[in-house]
Structure formats: C-alpha cells, structure tokens
C-alpha cells in the first residue's frame, strides 16, 4: 500500500541539504504551528512568536546572499520550505515569502549597497518585519495605472496615495512602496513606518480567508521621508513585477503544501472511518477520489521541481512561473474540495485542516495575479498576442 505522497520518488532528486531544510521546516510546523493554528484562525489573530521562530529556522532570506545576512540557498530549497510552511497554514508561508520574495528581494535587486547592508541583515534576523505595497483600492491586475505618487522636494520624498490588501500591513517596521514619480515612472521606496509623517495603517477586519494573517491598508497624505529611501535602481513597473515573480513561485510551492496536507488527512481518515462494516477507503468512489488527488499532486510536484531547476539556472520565464502558480492553486483547490467530501461532516470542523485550507485557497486563486490573468499570460506567451 503506497500511502506516502512521493508517488514518483521525487525525493531522489533532492540533495541531503535540501531534504534537511524541508524536514526541519516540516518538524517545526508539526511541533509549533499545527497545535495552535486553529486558535489563531478562529480568533483572526497572529502570533507574536511566529516571526522570531521563522527567522530562527531560516524562513527569512533563504535565497539572499550570505554577505547580507541571508543563507545563499537555491530556489529548490526555498520552494520546499514554502511547501512545508503552507502545510501549517497560508499565514505562515505568507509571512515568510513577503519578507523574502518581496521585501528583501526588492532591496537586494534594486537597493544601494548602503541600503542592502542596513536593512537585509535586520530583515533576515527578524528584527525588522516588512510589507510590500503595490495593489491599490482601484488597481489590482492593472497595477501600472496606480495613483500612488511621489515627488522629490529638496532632500525629502513626499508620497500621496494608498495601498490595499497589504500583508503584514499594521505590523511592519518597513514597507516597500511602489509609486509613480513626476515623470510617471514607477519606483520603489523603503518606508520606515516609524519615521514618516502623515502615514496611517488600518487592518482589514471580518475576513473569511487569510484569517491568521495580518492584512491591511497603507495611507499616505503628503507623507515625508528622507530622499535616501528611494530604491534608485528601480526604474519601472516591471521591477515590481520581477519581485512578484518570486512571490508567485512561493505561492506555487505553498499551494502544493496545502494539497499534500489535505490528501494525507483524507487518506488517513478514509482508512480509519468505518461504514457498513469496513473502511470507506475500500469503496470505489472513495478510491477514485484519492487516486485522482495523488495523480494531480504528482503532476504538480513534477511541474514545481522543473520550475525550480529553471529558476536556479536563471532560465525561468515569468510565463512559466504564472503557469505553475495557476496550476498548483487550482489543483490544491480541487484536492481540498475532494478531501472535504471524503471527511463528510467532519470536514467542516476545526478538528481537521480542510476547511481552513479551502478558505485560504479562495484568496490564493486571485492573490498575486488572478487565475484568469495568469491564464492570459500563458495565452500571450504561446500566441504572441496580448489579449489583456
């Protein structure tokens, strides 16, 4: 009976170091996250301990060079970590990937040497927590039309506008904010939230998804900060999108973690649940569900592995990343739905993770690019015609 989730022996592709990172992350999630995550979900709150614990296991800056306080690891290791974090909950993976894929990556790629030395070690150690401001109340998929703007007045940057659906919003010490300058060019700005005037944050309440994640709005009203906070190497909206590519890569692997957790839960339940004198796993319709679940998971594992290979070879395109994000989130959604069916009424309770994962997937399907937008990115890539 092949019960494990590595149906095609994909572990044989990984190095000992990669397996160590995956297994250590899995052990931490099992020990410190799974026993309490239901409480934080039900109360729509975030643990103050998560950030320090993530920093301790390398959850911040895994792919950032060691000279800046990171770990200098490969993208496959990063993907495996994201997979295991999201087995615990999307909130945990989001906290890690915002810090690494969006905040630290932005500074690493577009910051000055002084900015890298100042911020990256503190972000890697968890002494600073970051957020990433791109989406606005009226601009999501068409982020290039953003209204948030800034101008340089003597030695100050003056920012006006707002950003919405921002992870870590009201907890962040710094925010990477993307805004248009007076030449209508999009650039990134490092905002120290404690050192800027006329700046406010507001937490988004009453969410049915991402409940254990702090999500909010950033508002700037002639907010002033030092001119030296500009990411001067950033030159267009494409630079912001390049950061999103790393974020979407993390989502692709994280969604795989959700699917694995749901499948393992359903498989165990099906073998233990007795109806009509035998385990429900012995019935054809249940076996059909389980067989289809592991098949789709295996295909996503192979897709994710090859994407990691391309990322590490610096050959991955944004369209390939989009395909993996779209495929894996949709796959995880279907696996979670089938798992909920297998568990019956128990599937909607907090005793099992299925409904919590399903709620989070409702955000992931539109998060960092909607399902449909990623489909059109693939369409443009294969036809050469922009249908957006």
Looking up residue 70, the CATH number of its domain turns out to be 1.10.540.10
Within-domain flag for 2? no
Q: How far apart are CA 336 and CA 289, in angstroms?
A: 11
pLDDT at 2: 54
- Are residues 152 and 208 located together in one domain of the fold? yes
Got the DSSP string for 243-304?
A: HHHHHHHHHHHHHHHHHHHHHHHHHHHHHH-EETTEEGGGSHHHHHHHHHHHHHHHHHHHHH
Within-domain flag for 312? yes
DSSP state letter for 177: E
CB 64 within 8 A of CB 74: no
Average pLDDT of the chain, as a whole number = 96
**How many other C-beta atoms lie within 10 A of the C-beta of residue 74?**
18
pLDDT, tens only, 51-106: 999 999 999 999 999 999 999 999 999 999 999 999 999 999 999 999 999 999 99
pLDDT at 12: 95
Domain CATH for 194 = 2.40.110.10
- Are residues 212 and 349 located together in one domain of the fold? no
- Tell the residue number behind the tokens 């649940």, with chain if given: 273
Which of 214, 235, 256 finishes a domain? Answer: 235
Q: How far apart are CA 280 and CA 290, in angstroms?
A: 11
Q: How far apart are CA 207 and CA 214, in angstroms?
A: 10
Which of 124, 145, 178 finishes a domain? Answer: 124
Within-domain flag for 174? yes
- Are residues 284 and 208 located together in one domain of the fold? no
pLDDT at 107: 98
The tokens of 73 are what? 């690891």
Which of 235, 267, 286 finishes a domain? Answer: 235
- Are residues 305 and 205 located together in one domain of the fold? no
- Burial (CB count within 10 angstroms: exposed 0-12, middle 13-18, buried 19+), residue 131: buried
pLDDT at 103: 98
Cβ-proximal residues to 217 (8 Å cutoff; 6+ apart), any chain: 137, 162, 163, 164, 165, 166, 169, 201, 202, 204
pLDDT at 142: 77
Q: How far apart are CA 137 and CA 134, in angstroms?
A: 10
The tokens of 16 are what? 């000992």
- Are residues 32 and 97 located together in one domain of the fold? yes
Within-domain flag for 5? no
Total domain count, the chain: 3
Using DSSP, how many helices (H) and how many strands (E) does the chain show? Answer: 12, 10
Full domain range(s) for residue 267: 238-383
Beta-strand ranges (E) seen in the chain are 130-133, 149-153, 156-167, 174-180, 186-192, 199-203, 215-226, 230-231, 274-275, 278-279
- Are residues 119 and 242 located together in one domain of the fold? no
- Are residues 375 and 275 located together in one domain of the fold? yes
What sign results for the dihedral spanned by CA atoms 254, 258, 261, 263? Answer: negative
Length of the chain: 388
Within-domain flag for 152? yes
The tokens of 282 are what? 């012995």
Within-domain flag for 1? no
Low-confidence residues of the chain: pLDDT under 50: none
- Are residues 161 and 260 located together in one domain of the fold? no
pLDDT, tens only, 197-210: 999 999 999 999 99
CB 119 within 8 A of CB 235: no
Within-domain flag for 388? no
Can you say whether residue 384 is alpha, beta or left, with left for phi > 0 and alpha for psi between -120 and 50 degrees? Answer: left
- Are residues 244 and 348 located together in one domain of the fold? yes
pLDDT, tens only, 281-300: 999 999 999 999 999 999 99
Domain CATH for 324 = 1.20.140.10
- Are residues 242 and 378 located together in one domain of the fold? yes
Angle between helices 75-88 and 90-97 (to 10 degrees): 150
- Are residues 88 and 174 located together in one domain of the fold? no
The tokens of 127 are what? 């002494």
- Are residues 119 and 135 located together in one domain of the fold? no
Within-domain flag for 336? yes
């Amino acid at each position: 009976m092949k019960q494990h989730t590595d149906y095609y022996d994909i572990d044989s592709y990984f190095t000992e170091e990669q397996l160590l990172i995956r297994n250590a992350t899995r052990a931490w999630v099992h020990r410190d996250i799974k026993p309490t995550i239901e409480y934080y979900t039900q109360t729509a709150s975030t643990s103050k301990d998560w950030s320090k614990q993530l920093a301790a296991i390398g959850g911040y800056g895994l792919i950032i060079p060691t000279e800046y306080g990171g770990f200098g690891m490969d993208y496959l290791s990063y993907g495996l970590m994201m997979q295991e974090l999201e087995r615990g909950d999307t909130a945990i993976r989001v906290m890690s990937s915002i810090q690494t894929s969006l905040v630290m990556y932005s500074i690493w790629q577009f910051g000055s040497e002084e900015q890298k030395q100042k911020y990256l070690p503190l972000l890697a150690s968890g002494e600073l927590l970051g957020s990433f401001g791109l989406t606005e109340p009226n601009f999501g998929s068409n982020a290039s039309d953003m209204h948030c703007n800034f101008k340089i007045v003597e030695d100050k940057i003056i920012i006006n506008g707002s950003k919405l659906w921002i992870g870590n919003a009201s907890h962040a010490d710094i925010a990477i904010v993307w805004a248009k300058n007076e030449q209508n060019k999009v650039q990134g700005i490092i905002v120290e939230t404690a050192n800027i005037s006329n700046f406010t944050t507001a937490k988004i309440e009453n969410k049915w998804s991402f409940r254990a994640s702090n999500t909010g709005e950033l508002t700037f009203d002639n907010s002033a900060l030092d001119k030296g906070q500009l990411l001067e190497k950033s030159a267009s909206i494409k630079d912001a999108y390049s950061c999103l590519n790393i974020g979407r890569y993390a989502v692709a692997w994280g969604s795989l973690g959700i699917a694995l957790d749901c499948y393992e839960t359903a498989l165990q339940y099906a073998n233990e649940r007795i109806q009509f004198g035998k385990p429900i796993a012995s019935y054809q319709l249940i076996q059909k569900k389980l067989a289809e679940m592991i098949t789709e998971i295996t295909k996503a594992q192979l897709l994710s592995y090859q994407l990691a290979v391309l990322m590490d070879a610096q050959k991955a395109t944004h369209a390939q990343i989009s395909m993996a994000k779209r495929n894996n989130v949709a796959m995880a959604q279907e696996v979670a739905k089938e798992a909920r069916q297998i568990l019956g009424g128990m599937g909607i309770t907090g005793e099992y993770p299925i409904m919590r994962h399903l709620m989070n997937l409702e955000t992931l399907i539109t998060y960092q690019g909607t399902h449909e937008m990623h489909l059109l990115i693939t369409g443009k890539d294969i036809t050469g015609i922009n249908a957006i």
